[in-house]
Chains A and B, each alone.
Chain A
């Protein structure tokens, strides 16, 4: 029982992080209809920027304060993501209005290559550390209930809390601010939104920027767990089943889908993995999502797709 709970908690924590990446996908897809394959590259780029700025800032400012360095680095990395969002909107998206979904998908793949190259040219291609002071010690819960209790990494708990906080902030932003309302209007209907005077281009920049910030947060969390390196880009591939499971257009879907995938992955790895030689978590999430799709083609929370001749 303790073992099961341990795996379950581990899965929930991992799922929270997947949701974070999936959230970036969903935001962009809702607002601009672009399936953003570059989300993984954005995570890497943001994490690289964060790690390197945190390294350079003390030298520039002449301080030793770690907190200050991290805050300044976060701001600088955020600024990078803003510039990136603006450039992508200006140079790519505004030229590809009204193109088919596949063409846009390919364009984001092009952006992926570009970002991978750019990030490593500017910031270097070694493995870097991000240290934002997250505790690394494990804690034990329910020790009175089972023998040995349930071991949980405190770092994971912090990460999950940060992710949850981000989700709350984002949903407040979407529900309560006028920009958030404009974003939802654009997501609902481009033309109607434009006709009541919402500037599409600015909305797209904002959406890509918000996705960039979620990428930055995801990058920091993953980066402090396993170091900032090229393999971070695969995190996005792990998050893809989450969005088809939850539905491409649903924010709650991204979160619940993330949790389902995280838990399913962990439990399957623990219980079925040894039977077939291990390492099944790489495809298990996809197969799980595929089975869901056979019964609900639009995902758990996606909008129903209605075809008319």
Chain B
């Protein structure tokens, strides 16, 4: 009833090429963004920012980057955690080695170095594909883990091996309280989300998708695989690198290489698969699911245990959490292999006809 597109005519090319061609979509997204900027700060307390909202924003940015590579260009990567690490550490080095460099410039330079590293480790994708590539990208993960742990230059020869930043500010405004951090991350996410959305529906995005669907056929119709694959690696690792910088600077404050271990890579890939490969919206769904699920289980299991009259030790809770997490992933893959984004589009399709389906 409310989600009808009849009567909305596209009378110019401009109108035909809008991001959201349906008026209701446009308003819904605008309302959502406005709510995120204005409504959320009025409603939410500090714990929610720290535990859920800020990790969610940063990880959905990273998932967005991974989705461009995995979902749109079809190159499976298990090295995303490494690209996050490169972003974080190079942003840190820019920040402390160049006097008075603005925070945003430091973060973007982290993204720039992640791009370089990503393109370097993307070179094997020109020769190998599929699962071979997935394992090959692990080389990036282990190499970066080692480099940031063992090579002193990256951590500024810090004895403990961890690095930390403080007194962040943008244009004189401090990034200190959870609310400021939240708004800062949100702005990044909105800008990059818009960029990504536009990239994937442009010529280069279509090239990526052609490569994903069948690279030989794409090469035959004149798409350069080298250019398409490496550009996907570049864009993806830039976004992932910036997300890594945000994760280190804004969310953690001080961090070690373990923050960007192989588990992070798996987590990002989970987000993309559960959210939906090849869908910008899906990255957000996936990130929300993966961020909230462990917190929910953590809160819920002891309560459930108490209800059943058994006290569960913390160690057991964390093990059972693992089990449920794993089982849910498998269950989810069986029930909806195309991810949450697919459910979303089915719901929209239903809503279009509701309440008069004929």
Q: In the complex, what residues of A have CB within 8 A of residue B132's CB?
A: 244, 248, 293, 297-299
The reply on B142 being an interface residue by CB < 8 A is yes
- CB atoms of B220 and A309 under 8 A apart: yes
Known contacts A125-B315, A125-B319, A309-B214: does B330 contact A111 (CB below 8 Å)?
A: yes
Pair B326/A112 contact, Cβ less than 8 Å: yes
Docked complex Cα distance between A240 and B139 (Å): 10
Interface centre among B132, B149, B328 (most CB of A within 10 A): B132
- Interface contact A287-B139, CB-CB below 8 Å: yes
Counting chain B CB atoms within 10 Å of each CB, the highest count among A121, A241, A287 belongs to A121
Report if A117-B322 is in contact (Cβ < 8 Å); known contacts: A110-B329, A308-B216: yes
Contact with B along A42-62 (1 / 0, CB 8 A): 000000000000000000000
Chain B stretch 296-353: residues in CB contact (< 8 A) with chain A: 315-316, 319-330, 333-334, 337
Contact digits for A125-163, partner B, Cβ 8 Å, 1 yes 0 no: 100000000000000000000000000000000000000
- Give every chain B residue within 8 A of A240 (Cβ-Cβ): 135, 138
Contact between A287 and B130 (Cβ–Cβ < 8 Å)? no
A308 to B220, CA, bound (A): 11
Tell me if A95 is interfacial: C-beta within 8 Å of chain B: yes
| Nearest-Cβ distance from residue A144 to partner chain B, whole angstroms | 41
Task: Give min CB distance, B17 to chain A, whole Å.
Answer: 31
- B51 within 8 A of partner (CB): no
B217 at the binding interface (Cβ < 8 Å) = yes
Provide the bound-state CA to CA distance between A191 and B124, in Å.
32
Task: Give the dominant DSSP class at B's interface.
Answer: helix
| Stretch in contact with the other chain, from A67-75, A96-104, A219-227, A261-269 | A96-104
Complex interface: chain B residues within 8 A of A287 (CB): 139, 143
Q: In the complex, are the beta carbons of A283 and B136 less than 8 A apart?
A: no
The CA-CA distance from A289 to B146 in the complex, in Å, is 17
8 more A-B residue pairs beyond the given contacts A91-B330, A298-B132, A307-B215, with a C-beta to C-beta distance below 8 A: A106-B273, A110-B328, A114-B323, A114-B325, A120-B315, A286-B139, A293-B124, A293-B136
Pairs A–B under 8 Å by Cβ, sample size 11: A110-B328, A111-B330, A112-B326, A113-B329, A114-B323, A114-B330, A244-B132, A286-B142, A308-B216, A309-B214, A309-B216
Interfacial chain B residues near A277, Cβ < 8 Å: 150-151
Contact B146 A282 (CB under 8 A): yes
Residue of A nearest to B274 (CB): A106
Residue of A nearest to B266 (CB): A109
B145: interface (CB < 8 Å): yes
> Which residues of B have CB within 8 Å of A286?
136, 138-139, 142-143
Task: Decide if A278 is an interface residue (CB 8 Å cutoff).
Answer: yes
Q: Is the CB of A110 within 8 A of B322?
A: no
Q: Which residues of B contact A276 (CB under 8 A)?
A: 150-151
B57 within 8 A of A: no
Indicate whether A117 sits within 8 Å of B320 (C-beta atoms), given known contacts A237-B262, A280-B146: yes
Asked whether any CB of chain B lies closer than 8 Å to the CB of A172, the reply is no
Q: Which 10 A-B pairs give the minimum distances between C-beta atoms?
A: A113-B326, A117-B322, A114-B326, A110-B329, A117-B323, A286-B139, A110-B330, A283-B142, A95-B334, A283-B143
CB of B131 within 8 Å of the partner chain: yes
B91 near A: Cβ within 8 Å?
Answer: no
Per the bound structure, the CA–CA distance linking A71 and B151 in Å amounts to 48
Of the four ranges (under 10, 10 to 19, 20 to 34, 35 or more), the interface on chain B belongs to 35 or more
* Residues of A contacting B220 in the complex (Cβ-Cβ under 8 angstroms): 309
Q: Looking at the complex, which one of B127, B145, B270, B327 makes contact with A294 (CB distance below 8 Å)?
A: B127
Taking CB atoms, residues of chain A closer than 8 Å to B124 are: 290, 293-294
Q: Which residue of chain B has the shortest Cβ distance to A115 in the bound complex? A: B326
Interface size class of A (residues with CB under 8 A): 35 or more
Q: Is A84 an interface residue, CB under 8 A from the partner?
A: no
Asked if A279 lies at the interface with its beta carbon under 8 angstroms from chain B, I say yes
Report which of B131, B142, B269, B330 forms a contact with A101, defined as CB distance below 8 A.
B131
Bound form: Cα–Cα A22–B316 in Å: 31
Partner of A248, one of B131, B320, B321: B131
Residue of A with least CB distance to B328? A110
Tell me the complex Cα distance, A107–B273, Å: 10
Instruction: Look across to chain A and name the residue whose beta carbon is closest to the beta carbon of B323.
Output: A117
In the complex, A109→B274 CA distance in Å?
13
Q: Which residues of B contact A91 (CB under 8 A)?
A: 330
* B232 interface residue per 8 A CB criterion: no
Taking a contact as CB atoms under 8 Å apart, the answer to whether B216 and A121 are in contact is no
Q: A244-B132, A299-B132 are in contact. Are A113 and B139 (CB under 8 A)?
A: no
- Chain B residues lying within 8 Å of A100, measured Cβ to Cβ, are 337
B327 touches A110 (CB 8 A): yes
Chain A residues with CB under 8 Å of B266's CB are: 109
